[in-house]
Every structure is written in C-alpha cells, then in structure tokens.
C-alpha cells in the first residue's frame, strides 16, 4: 500500500537551527561560502524573488541552462519550498534538443549563464544567473510557509538519451530524501562529510546524489563548475578542502590517473571514489586499491536514485571487484525472467525495483509510465544482472542491448569488459548486427591508446581466451571517440547508424 503524503523534509532549515555556523556550501569558482544559517536565509530570499519578481506559483516549472554553481542549488531548494518544479537542462545539447525539452516542460522562467541559442516557449522569461543572484542578495527573506507534500513533483530530470529522445523523469522530495538515505548508509556519510561535486547538476549524480546525502547529515558540499582533471586532482589532495566523498564515471577516473597532477598518496581525507554510469573493469578497481584509494562501484538510475553500492571496505571491494554491490536499505530488488519469475542465484534476470526512491513516472508520458511499472507496482529497469549467493549484484547489460547469436544470449557489457582488459584499448563498445548465418553477431567499436596498433586476429584471440567463441565480435572497428552522453554513457543508438565503411577497420 502506498504511504500517505507527508510534509517535505528540509534538512537545510533543520541544520540552520541545529548548527547554524557550520559551513554548508562553497562555490569553488567564486569563493562564495554559506553557513547553514546563511544558506537557509538565501533560499528564503530566493523564494521572495521568484514570487514577487516573477510571479512563480506552485506547480510551475523553473528551468536552467547553466553550468554548476551554488546558485543552482539555492534555486532548486527555493523552488521546492515554493512548490515549483526545478528542471535543469543539459547545456551541452544542441539548440534543437534543448528546444524540444523546454517545449515539453513548458517553464515559466529560464535561468542561463550564456546566450540562449534556442527559441523559448511562449511566456517563458529568460534571466541571467548572475543577475538573478544579485537580485536575491538585495531582497528580504520571504515568510515561512508550510512545505508541499513530499509526493508532489519537485524536480524533472531529462534522461541522457542513450536510446533516443530524452524523457522527463519526475523526482519527488520523497524520492530525493530516500536517495540521500540510501547513499548515506552505503557511502558512510556523516556530519563531517565533505563532498566535491563536479558532476553536471542536470544529472541525478550531480543534483541529488552529490548534494542531498551531505546536506541531510549536516555536512558540506563543494560545488565546482565542472570536471577538470587537473583541478580535481589538486582539490582531492588539498588538506584545506578535506574532501571525503567524490563521484565520477570511470572515464573521469581514468583522466584523473593519466594527469600529471595525480598524487593519490595525498588524498588522505578521502573515504572513497564512488563510480557508476558505465562498466568499470575489475582490473581497474584493483589498480586503484593498489594506489591506496578505495573505488566503490555502484548502480543508480534517474528513475530510482541510488540502487546498489559496494561496501566501503578494501577487502570486500577487492574480492567483489566488478560487482555493483548490495541493494540500498530502502530498495526492494528482484531479478526476474521473461515470465516475471524470480531467477536463481547466478542466473541473469531483469532488475525490478520498489521503494520510496522510485519515480512516480515520466512527465507528459502516461503511456510510458504505465509500461514502466508492473500491475503490482514494480519498476521495470530494463537492466540485466546476476546476484551471487552473498547477495552482491553484478550488472550484465541493458535488456535492449542484448543480442542473440546462434541461439545464445550475448551481453555486450561482458565483451566490453574483456576488451578493456587489453593493454592497447582505452574505450570499447559492442553492438549486435544482423548476420545471415548466426542471426546476429558482435561488432566492436574501439578507441586505441596512443601508440598502440593491433590487428583483428590479436583482438579475437584476446577475447577468445576469456569468453566463449560465440561472444567474440566478428568485426573490430577503430574510432577516435565514442558517442557519449554528458554523464558518460555510450549512445549505442548512434553506433547502430555507423557502418564498417564509415570507420577505419583495425
């Protein structure tokens, strides 16, 4: 039975009373910083500007096209207190893509930090982020009012579009609170935690997972405009900052280790690097452990927040490297077969989820919302995984990416992990393509490391020594880059439009 709506949790207001002088937030680009008391007051001033300056009402959307800043954090919390809906839009998208998202969410207000390159919906007011912040500083705080119910839409996050047109995922304050609890338990978050956030705040990791757990506990968030390998290395090594938690995708972690400023011995305050969003080979995780850095892989979704996470124990990480870990405390998780029956330990099955962190659905997409849930309320993720006897879950692949070769199910992630173990391969992606003999076979797209040249026979032998022959790709195509979303996920729908003649064969 669904829980009744409750009053929205507001940890910033709580800690403004409990520990008003503790530093809550630092904007690294400008050097501005807020105690919990100051952050709480600034949020109330922002509520006043939204209400009196722009006439924002509950339920209206406030969109942003802007790089990370503390101003976005403040705006989102002000929208929450007002009952408006915060919609951060990926500023890296093309103008036509941004326009489609803005038309879908129909915002009353758009905050931006660069020239807007797209037409806005009728009635949408564009405002520069810096000018808005000046107006906030000049305003007086709005009076307190009861907060909206925790099951009302609070945020819309548009999916990264790995399979096509993005969908707007509705995030309620109940969802965000549950994610804060889920990651907080798995990631050992406490009052002394200091999170470095340089993941984009139009993504669930940047806006929710990197901000809500420390704010719930009364910790500190350090907000960077974006990822820069040199700057991030220096910040992780800076004792004055004292970073304890850092999120990144595996590609970002590789950029950190390849940078001249990489000095993991100086990351003395770091609890762990937390990774997700893309395959993270076991050999890479063990390499980080050898440097003295715990790399805790996990699995989450825009629709579900934190789902799985590795324990922050070096021994468990080493023994279970390649796994996404254990289910978070408020997550209900099943692995099911094509008939909806639970699979045995070690067998692949689709992940179905339940719990307070799960989205109520997609904005303006009632049919897709209905398809995403079972009749008894389980959310179908479309991800395939195996669970071992100890409960650790290993992601196998996206259900839609699986292909069938000679009657056998083939999961591209398994092949990609093997390819990434090759010393000459920096990145890899595998798709299934039609084949007259086998029905489908694998086509691998690879990015080579500088100075490496290999031939198809070498790659086929490398794979054949580690996986069954029917899984070994029949083609290996070299490309300079792989198409990725802003969060680092490979866009396989784009790869399917690439053909062998377009790319150079090894």
Stretch 212-228: mean pLDDT, rounded?
Answer: 97
Q: Which residues are CB-neighbours of 372 under 8 A, at least 6 positions away?
A: 303, 361, 362, 379, 380
Examine the pLDDT at 424 and tell me if it is beyond 50: yes
pLDDT tier at 362, thresholds 50, 70, 90: very high
Mean pLDDT of 286-309: 96
Give the β-pairing of 439-448 and 425-435. antiparallel
User: Looking at 241-250, 302-311, 412-421, which range is the least confident one?
Assistant: 412-421
Q: When comparing pLDDT for 120 and 96, which is higher? A: 120
pLDDT at res. 1: 42
Domain residue spans in the chain?
403-505
pLDDT at residue 503 greater than cutoff 50: no
Question: Distance (Å, rounded) from C-alpha 61 to C-alpha 173?
Answer: 15
- Look at residue 24 in the predicted model and tell me its pLDDT: 98
At 273, the pLDDT band (50, 70, 90 cuts) reads: very high
Distance in angstroms (rounded) separating the CA atoms of residues 62 and 75: 9
pLDDT for res 3: 57
Segments in 1-69 forming alpha helices (H): 11-18, 36-48, 54
Among 95-99, 135-139, 188-192, 423-427, where is mean pLDDT lowest? 95-99
Least confidently predicted of 92-96, 240-244, 258-262, 324-328 = 92-96
Higher pLDDT, 501 or 276: 276
Q: What average pLDDT does the segment 467-478 reach?
A: 89
Q: Which residues contact 462 (CB under 8 A, 6 or more apart)?
A: 418, 419, 421, 422
Give pLDDT, residue 486. 62
pLDDT category at 88 given cuts 50, 70, 90 is: very high
Of the candidates 219, 223, 222, 227, the one whose C-alpha atom is nearest the C-alpha of residue 184 is 219
Q: What is the distance between the alpha carbons of residues 386 and 197, in angstroms, rounded to a whole number?
A: 31
Distance from C-alpha of 128 to C-alpha of 141, rounded to nearest angstrom: 21
**175, 305 Cβ separation under 8 angstroms:** yes
Over 50: is that where the pLDDT of 417 sits?
Answer: yes
Residue 499 has pLDDT above 50, yes or no: yes
The predicted structure's pLDDT at residue 370:
95
Look at residue 271 in the predicted model and tell me its pLDDT.
98
Quote the pLDDT of residue 160.
61
| Residue 109, SS3 per DSSP | strand
For 193-197, 255-259, 264-268, 453-457, which range has the lowest pLDDT when averaged over its residues? 453-457
Q: What percent of the chain has pLDDT over 70?
A: 95
For the chain, state the CA radius of gyration. 23
Q: Is the pLDDT of residue 451 over 50?
A: yes
Q: For residue 296, which phi and psi values (nearest 5 degrees)?
A: -100, 105
CATH topology of domain 403-505: GMP Synthetase; Chain A, domain 3 (3.30.300)
Q: For residues 200 and 226, is the Cβ–Cβ distance under 8 A?
A: yes
Half-sphere exposure of 124 (CA within 13 A, CB side): 22
Average pLDDT estimate for 356-372 = 96
Residue 165 has pLDDT above 80, yes or no: no
Among residues 244, 288, 295, 287, which one has the least CA distance to residue 268? 244
């Amino acid at each position: 039975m669904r829980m009744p709506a409750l009053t929205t949790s507001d940890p910033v207001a709580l800690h403004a009373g409990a520990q008003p002088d503790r530093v809550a937030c630092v904007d690294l680009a400008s050097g501005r910083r807020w105690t919990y008391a100051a952050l709480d007051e600034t949020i109330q001033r922002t509520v006043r500007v939204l209400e009196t300056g722009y006439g924002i009402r509950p339920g209206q959307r406030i969109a942003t096209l802007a790089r990370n800043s503390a101003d976005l954090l403040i705006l989102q919390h002000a929208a929450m207190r007002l009952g408006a809906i915060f919609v951060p839009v990926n500023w890296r998208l093309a103008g036509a893509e941004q326009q489609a998202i803005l038309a879908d969410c129909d915002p009353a207000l758009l905050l931006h930090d660069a020239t807007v390159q797209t037409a806005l919906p009728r009635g949408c007011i564009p405002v520069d982020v810096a000018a808005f912040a000046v107006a906030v500083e000049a305003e007086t705080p709005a009076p307190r009012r009861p907060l909206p119910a925790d099951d009302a839409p609070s945020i819309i996050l548009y999916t990264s579009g790995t399979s096509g047109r993005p969908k707007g995922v509705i995030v309620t304050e109940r969802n965000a609170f549950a994610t804060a609890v889920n990651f907080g338990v798995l990631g050992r978050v406490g009052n002394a935690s200091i999170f470095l956030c340089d993941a984009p705040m139009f993504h669930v990791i940047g806006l929710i997972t990197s901000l809500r757990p420390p704010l719930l506990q009364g910790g500190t968030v350090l907000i960077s405009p974006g990822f820069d390998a040199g700057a991030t290395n220096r910040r992780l090594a800076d004792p004055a900052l004292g970073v304890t938690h850092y999120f990144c995708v595996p590609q970002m972690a590789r950029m950190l280790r390849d940078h001249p400023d990489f000095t993991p011995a100086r990351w003395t305050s770091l609890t762990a690097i937390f990774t997700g969003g893309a395959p993270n080979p076991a050999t890479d995780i063990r390499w980080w452990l050898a440097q003295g850095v715990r790399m805790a892989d996990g699995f989450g979704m825009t629709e579900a927040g934190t789902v799985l996470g590795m324990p922050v124990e070096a021994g468990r990480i080493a023994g279970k490297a390649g796994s996404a870990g254990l289910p978070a405390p408020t997550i209900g998780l099943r692995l099911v077969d094509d008939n909806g029956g639970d699979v045995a330990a070690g067998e692949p099955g689709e992940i179905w989820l339940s719990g307070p962190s799960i989205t109520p659905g997609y904005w303006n997409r009632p049919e897709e919302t209905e398809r995403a849930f079972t009749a008894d309320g389980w959310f179908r993720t479309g991800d395939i995984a195996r669970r071992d006897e100890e409960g650790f879950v290993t992601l196998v692949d996206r259900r839609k990416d699986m292909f069938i070769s000679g009657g056998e199910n083939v999961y591209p992630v398994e092949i990609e992990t093997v390819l990434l173990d090759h010393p000459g391969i920096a990145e890899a992606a595998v798709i299934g393509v039609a084949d007259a003999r086998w029905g489908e076979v694998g086509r691998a797209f690879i990015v080579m490391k500088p100075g490496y040249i290999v031939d198809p026979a070498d790659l086929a032998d490398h794979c054949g020594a580690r996986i069954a022959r029917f899984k070994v790709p029949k083609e290996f195509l070299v490309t300079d880059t792989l198409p990725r979303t802003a969060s680092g996920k490979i866009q396989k729908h784009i790869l399917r439009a690439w053909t062998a003649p377009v790319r150079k064969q090894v």
